[in-house]
Amino acid sequence: MIQGSIVAIVTPMLPDGAIDWPAFDKLLEWHVSSGTSAVVVVGTTGESPTVTVEEHCALIERSIKTINGRIPVIAGTGSNSTAEAIYYTKAAQEVGADACLLVTPYYNKPSQEGLYQHFKKVAEEVDIPQILYNVPGRTGVDLLPETVSRLADIDNIVGIKEATGDLDRGQQVINLCANRIAIYSGDDATALDLILAGAKGNISVTANVAPAQMAEVCRLALAGEKEKASLLNARLAGLHHALFLESNPVPVKWALHELGWIENGIRLPLVPLNKAYHIPLREAIRHAGL
């Protein structure tokens, strides 16, 4: 079971929008050396909506080659088309991904039965560990705890990224499913509390800019060291907030550029961070000790 701080890594881009492969390799190495437990590639933070099919598969393959087994690679392979999700999941399996992260189908808003049948079909078609991803604020559909519980009985569904930010919801899922699948927070601001309540880690945006700190917060929380974890997390609280002043990954890519890790490239329809947010994000970076 993968536990701890799992970074939902950005896809570095040049100012013209081309993928910056050397910068991607550099970020991966930084996470390995900083204690990040695993990497999620081509998730929402990795701009999965705007990379091409070829780029999507290449990013997964590149991360697997660069990391070379040192930490697990979780490939983002979700889609609102079941057939497309199966295609991406098979492609990830073929190049050696350790697991896949599948977001709930967005925009077409399936019923709970549709969600169940979607994830069940992908799991049956591709024999690789799969982590569900519930983020209703982005997708327009909510994977309810009862449906998660049904899916938890499928052998290769091994976890869920619960990104509602609702601790009561997270606790419901833990109570129903923690003996069968791993529950991961998908909300940095509430991740510590969810881990203390029984979650196994955090699939994190903040870890992009503070990998060592997030790894330590998760390590302490998993060890039950609430006071130490809370003190460290308090330094990151402003960052948890500031990285969502605009839609993810706009602020986190700006922060990584500010810290000198990547160029300031992002693809339309996203645009660089509004100047009004530069000062509060800089202050959050400074307060975090970065």
Q: Known catalytic residues?
A: 133, 161
11 backbone dihedrals φ, ψ, rounded to 5°:
-105, 105
Q: What is the DSSP string of 55-107?
A: HHHHHHHHHHHHHTTSS-EEEE---SSHHHHHHHHHHHHHHT-SEEEEEPPPS
Q: Which helix (H) or strand (E) holds 286?
A: helix 278-287
70: left (phi over 0), alpha (psi -120 to 50) or beta: alpha
Residues linked to residue 40 through DSSP beta bridges, in sequence order: 8, 74
Sign of the C-alpha dihedral computed for residues 61, 135, 51 and 115 taken in this order: positive
Question: How far is Cα 32 from Cα 26, in angstroms, rounded to an integer?
Answer: 10
Q: Specify the residue for token string 């400074």.
A: 286
Pairing of strands 130-134, 201-204: unpaired
Q: Which helix (H) or strand (E) holds 38?
A: strand 38-41
Q: Specify the residue for token string 């550029």.
A: 257
End-to-end CA distance of the chain: 30
